[in-house]
Amino acid sequence: MRILRQQLWPALALTLFLTLITGVLFPAAVTVVAQVAFPSQANGSLITLDDGRVVGSSLIGQGFSDAGYFWSRPSAAGADGYDANASGGSNLGPTSADLFERVSADAEQLRTLHGDAPVPVDLVTTSASGLDPHISPEAAAYQVERVAAARGMEADAVREIVARHTALPLLGFMGQARVNVLELNLELDGLLP
């Protein structure tokens, strides 16, 4: 019994102590620092309109299909795509016939709307999560004429909006240039706060 008490008590005390530190104090400290230093990011980078409506997150992609909007990357997350509860890619490999057929059909649909210009790869392939909120500047430029025509705008005015929403690589070399589709479409609607 004495040996059990000598071994059990220190083990329980250490378990409780580490649980308190790693399960309560550390998460609480991280939460406080995040809320103070990065409140928008800590709360999901939500985009809230002037009337208080939340229309999405700048970190989660959404599907757009109307000709007057820039289209996002295709999504394999969930049955209808863009389901944050089912984040994940399609797991189809480069030799998959299903993947080849889907990409070919998507590329053909884009060619019927945009002519024979090369289709940017990110408009026909899904991201690893299926929720990527960005497209490449090339994919945005590819869609400018269609969006401008559908909205009755000058293509140069749409290009200026795309340029405002193009984020460059961090420090000029980390990452790639990208355009947030939701923010771009909200500005086109005149809704971006």
pLDDT tens-digit map of 117-158: 899 999 998 888 888 899 999 999 999 999 999 999 999 999
7, 87: one domain:
no
If one counts the domains in the chain, the total is 2
Q: Report d(CA 88, CA 11) in Å as an integer.
A: 40
Structural domain harbouring 119? 45-188
Residue 47, both tokens? 């985009």
What is the CB-side half-sphere exposure of residue 95 using CA atoms within 13 A?
0
Do 92 and 166 lie in one domain? The reply is: yes
Model's pTM, two decimal places?
Answer: 0.78
Cα first-last separation, the chain: 68
Tell me: pLDDT of 38 over 80. Answer: yes
pLDDT of 130 = 81
Residues 100 and 130 in one domain: yes
Strands (E), 18-82: 46-48, 54-57
- pLDDT of 40-80, one tens digit each? 888 888 888 888 888 888 898 898 989 999 999 988 887 77
Q: Is the same domain home to 31 and 79?
A: no
Residue 193 lies in a domain: no
* Whether residue 119 is found in the same domain as residue 52: yes
**124 part of a folded domain:** yes
Residues in the chain: 193
- Same domain flag for 77 and 141: yes
What are phi and psi for residue 57, nearest 5 degrees? Answer: -120, 145
**How far is the C-alpha of 33 from the C-alpha of 41, rounded, in Å?**
12
Is the pLDDT reported for residue 3 higher than 80? no
- One domain, residues 32 and 85: no
140: Cβ contacts below 8 Å, ≥ 6 apart: 70, 162, 166, 179, 184
